[in-house]
Amino acid sequence: MEKRARRRFRLTLTRQRAIWGLLFTGAFIIGFIAFFLGPIIQSFQFAFSELKITPTGFTLSYVGWENFRYALRVDPNFVQVFVETTARILVDIPAVIIFSFFAATLLNQKFKGRTLARVVFFLPVILTSGIIYKFESGDIFHEMHMHASQEEIVYSSQIIMGVLMRMRLPETFTQYIIAAVNRIPDIINASAIPILIFLAGLQGIPSSLYECAKIEGATGWESFWKITFPLVSPLFLTNIVYIIIDSFTAPGNRLVELIENAAWGRNIYGVSVAMTWMYFGVIALILAVVFAVLSKRVVYMEE
């Protein structure tokens, strides 16, 4: 009887993983409810109210959709900056994904100095974070360097534009390439974490799969498209989600600065919160579209 009871309560590997997943997500859910749910509900209330600071705290006066109307119709910069920020991110996502996957594939090969090369690709994360970013952004030498870099990029984009025009490629494709070239420094800076994620996925592919493919006579090109690309496809979804969130909240984001200025510079706190909720809504919509399109096209190892 005892042996039968033990067999009944013995967990399979799938159930063990499910339990660990519930434990990790449970910690997040508890933390979210304890620390974030209250402020989120309160901010939603602020978005439909006029908030005034008083010596004892603040007062709220319900104004309905007035804060949203002010942001969309009265504020001279919000709509323009909103559209420019969204368009810039839509340009960056494919470029960052392609560059990250290409760089990770190269860094996964065996060559001398591979560790140093990996460190170099990760340096942008360190150089664009926190205090270092603020120090760089206020440094005169940094400004001079950015000026020189922009001149070089403009010159390069003019050359590329001439080449693409001679090839008679579609104008939409040409404009996208030019926009990506003009943002090369930002694309490289945003690629460090996605490169690490892709690299971890590439190293997790069993070498036995490549050995079997080689025995069957598959070429390197065929192995890439039949083995490598399908098995790292879940990481494309992960990286796209990461890039979207990181780009919308990165230091130097003009829209974030505009929202902060509305609150702390012009003291229109309700309008600032309304802008934030509209910003959040667009991010959520983009993420929903990405999940709907890509989640059914990824391949998992268990399959």
Interval 270-287 mean pLDDT:
92
* Residue 153 pLDDT exceeds 50: no
What residue type is assigned to position 56 of the chain? T
* Residue 246 pLDDT exceeds 70: yes
Give the separation between CA 138 and CA 251, rounded to whole angstroms.
13
Percent of the chain residues topping a pLDDT of 90: 18
Interval 257-265 mean pLDDT:
88
* Residue 141 pLDDT exceeds 50: no
pLDDT band (50, 70, 90) for residue 54: confident
Percent of the chain residues topping a pLDDT of 70: 76
pLDDT tens-digit series, residues 55-89:
888 888 899 999 999 999 988 899 999 998 888 88
Instruction: Yes or no: say if 189 and 104 are a contact pair by the CB < 8 Å rule.
Output: no
- Please report the pLDDT score of residue 219 as a whole number: 87
- Please report the pLDDT score of residue 158 as a whole number: 58
pLDDT band (50, 70, 90) for residue 125: low
Interval 121-142 mean pLDDT:
56
Higher pLDDT, residue 171 or 113? 113
Interval 129-149 mean pLDDT:
48
* Residue 154 pLDDT exceeds 80: no
Using CB atoms within 10 Å of the CB of residue 218, give its burial: 0 to 12 exposed, 13 to 18 middle, 19+ buried: middle
Structure tokens at 227: 């083995």
Instruction: Yes or no: say if 50 and 61 are a contact pair by the CB < 8 Å rule.
Output: yes
pLDDT tens-digit series, residues 193-209:
899 899 989 988 888 88
Indicate the pTM of the whole model.
0.74
List 60's β-bridge partners, or say none. Answer: 51
| Domains of the chain and any CATH numbers | 79-251 (1.10.3720.10)
What residue type is assigned to position 180 of the chain? A
Give the separation between CA 188 and CA 144, rounded to whole angstroms.
19
pLDDT band (50, 70, 90) for residue 176: low
What phi and psi, each to the nearest 5 degrees, are found at residue 59?
Answer: -125, 150
Structure tokens at 207: 């070498």
Instruction: State the residue for tokens 């990770």.
Output: 104
Structure tokens at 54: 């008083």
- Please report the pLDDT score of residue 140 as a whole number: 42
Instruction: Yes or no: say if 92 and 190 are a contact pair by the CB < 8 Å rule.
Output: yes
